[in-house]
Amino acid sequence: MFIGKTALITGSTSGIGLGIARTLAAQGAHIVLNGFGERAAIDRLRAELAEAHGVQVRHDGADMARPEAIEDMMGRALAEFGSIDILVNNAGIQHVAPVDEFPVDKWYAILAINLSAAFHTVRLALPAMKRKGFGRIVNIASAHALVASKYKSAYVTAKHGIAGFTKAVALEVAEAGITVNAVCPGYVLTPLVEQQIPDTAKARGITQQEVIRDVLLAAQPTKRFVTVEQVAALTAFLCAEDAASITGAVLPIEGGWTAQ
Ligand code: NAD
């Protein structure tokens, strides 16, 4: 249980991040949601989580592509809660294109949101974690932190980068009661994946059904999508006391994909 603890989850208005926020709130953590979305829908979500679990739920719409927006978000959360005990770096975007046609602005956006944003949240969260002698940082990486796929050069680069960042920071804070781990999901059917199906179909010259069967689930020996709830449960375990000896780990949850 995380009663009295505060969790900030980037990119938590949708998909995996929202699943993690729900799971941590259900275990008693106060929640700072982050991410884009319709104001009214986000307000409903905040009220629903707060009422269901008796926790405080805030939303900060900071753009993870902008370091100064991240600084403002972290400053507001630290001022309100004193420390961020659990930091989940989850916000991420994808773009699928051959490298010689890859839009330059998309390359920089993917590196900023999927990689550099975690550098900024971590550097800003650590001082209060160190003062408390407790912290849990979970970086939502990907199977693409461990292996590559065609047409995802920026994403694969960012995700391999976050795996290295995870290990480096874990070593730096190992004696401070702070753990830093990366979780590497295979395909989870969230808006991020649904949106890339048409682009992948175009890049490979196949139908969208063929993308699901022959590209996405072809990589996963279980032939099933990983679920949001499974990723959230693993993340919550890494945040628990029982996981105090797990740090610097880059943990696959991908139906056997990277065992091949
Ligand atoms: P999603 O598109 O459903 O959700 C992404 C979230 O990030 C949303 O809340 C969105 O508002 C937010 N976001 C996007 N850009 C942002 C920005 N600039 N600033 C702040 N918030 C921003 O995606 P998802 O599938 O839930 O992905 C979440 C994470 O999991 C990503 O890092 C992704 O790479 C990773 N992942 C996803 C899969 C998968 O199959 N879905 C697999 C492996 C890893």
- pLDDT greater than 90 at residue 134: yes
**Cβ count within 10 A of residue 68:** 10
- 24, 37, 155, 23: CA torsion to nearest 10: 10
Contact 81, 59 (CB under 8 A): no
Atom of ligand 1 nearest to the CA of 155: 34
134 CA from centroid of ligand 1 (Å): 26
pLDDT score recorded for residue 69: 98
Question: Could you tell me the pTM of the whole model?
Answer: 0.96
Task: Please list the alpha-helical segments (H only) found in 82-216.
Answer: 104-111, 117-132, 153-172, 191-204, 208-210
- pLDDT greater than 90 at residue 209: no
pLDDT score recorded for residue 191: 86
Domain 6-186+227-259 of CATH type 3.40.50.720: yes
CATH 3.40.50.720 range(s) for the chain read: 6-186+227-259
- Over range 206-223, report the average pLDDT: 90
Contact 91, 64 (CB under 8 A): yes
- pLDDT greater than 90 at residue 245: yes
Place of tokens 């996963």: 220
Ligand 1 first shell, C-beta below 6 A: 11-17, 34-36, 63-65, 90-93, 113-114, 140, 142, 185, 187-188, 190-193
